Amino acid sequence: MTGAAGEPILILGGGLMGLAIAHQLARRGQAVSVLSRRRNEAAGFVAAGMLAPHAEGLSGALLALGQRSLEAIPAWVEQIEADSGLSCGLRPCGIVVPFASANERDAYPTAALGTPLDRHGLEREIPGIGPGFQAALLFEQDGQIDNRRQLMRALERACSAQGVAFQEGAEVLDLHQEAQATGPRLTGVRLRRAEGDEQVLRCGQAVLACGAWSARLLSELPVFPVKGQMLSLQGPIGALARVVFGPGTYLVARDDGLLVVGATSEPEAGFAEGLTPAGQRLLQAGIDALLPSAAQWPPMERWWGFRPCTPDQGPLLGASPIEGLELATGHHRNGVLLAAITAQLIAARLLGDELEAVDRTLLEAFRWDRFS
In a domain, 40, yes or no: yes
Q: What is the CATH number of the domain that holds 294?
A: 3.30.9.10
Average pLDDT over residues 13-18: 96
Tally of structural domains, the chain: 2
Residues 246, 295, single domain; the answer is: yes
CB 231 within 8 Å of CB 299: yes
CB 87 within 8 Å of CB 154: yes
Of 306, 323, 349, which residue constitutes the final position of a domain? 306
Q: Which of 99, 101, 137, 103 has its CA nearest to residue 117?
A: 137
Instruction: Please give the residue range of the domain that contains residue 298.
Output: 90-145+224-306
Q: Which of 230, 239, 202 has its CA nearest to residue 50?
A: 230
Q: Give the pLDDT confidence score for residue 1 in this predicted structure.
A: 42
pLDDT, tens digit, for every residue of 273-294? 999 999 999 999 999 999 999 9
- Asked if the model's pLDDT at residue 90 lies above 60, the reply is yes
Q: Give the pLDDT confidence score for residue 4 in this predicted structure.
A: 46
As a whole number of angstroms, the distance between CA 256 and CA 316 comes to 35
pLDDT, tens digit, for every residue of 196-230? 999 999 999 999 999 999 999 999 999 999 999 99
Residues 118, 138, single domain; the answer is: yes
The CA angle 140-144-147, to the nearest 5 degrees, is 170
Q: Give the pLDDT confidence score for residue 47 in this predicted structure.
A: 86
Average pLDDT over residues 145-151: 96
Q: What is the CATH number of the domain that holds 205?
A: 3.50.50.60
In a domain, 372, yes or no: no
Q: Give the pLDDT confidence score for residue 41 in this predicted structure.
A: 67
Residues 203, 264, single domain; the answer is: no
As a whole number of angstroms, the distance between CA 186 and CA 74 comes to 35
pLDDT, tens digit, for every residue of 120-132? 999 999 999 999 9
As a whole number of angstroms, the distance between CA 67 and CA 65 comes to 6
Residues in a beta bridge with 36: 168
In a domain, 338, yes or no: yes
Which phi-psi region, left, alpha or beta, contains residue 44 (left: φ > 0; alpha: ψ -120 to 50)?
alpha
Residues 122, 158, single domain; the answer is: no
In a domain, 3, yes or no: no
Residues 80, 152, single domain; the answer is: yes
Residues 292, 163, single domain; the answer is: no
In a domain, 20, yes or no: yes
Q: Which of 306, 310, 283, 294 has its CA nearest to residue 257?
A: 294
In a domain, 1, yes or no: no
> By mean pLDDT, which of 2-11, 132-141, 171-180, 327-336 is the weakest?
2-11
Going from the C-alpha of 96 to that of each of 50, 134, 327, the distances in angstroms are 12, 13, 33
In a domain, 370, yes or no: no
Residues 333, 194, single domain; the answer is: yes
Mapped onto helix, strand or coil, the DSSP state of residue 42 is: coil
Of 306, 323, 350, which residue constitutes the final position of a domain? 306
Of 281, 306, 331, which residue constitutes the final position of a domain? 306
CB 9 within 8 Å of CB 207: yes
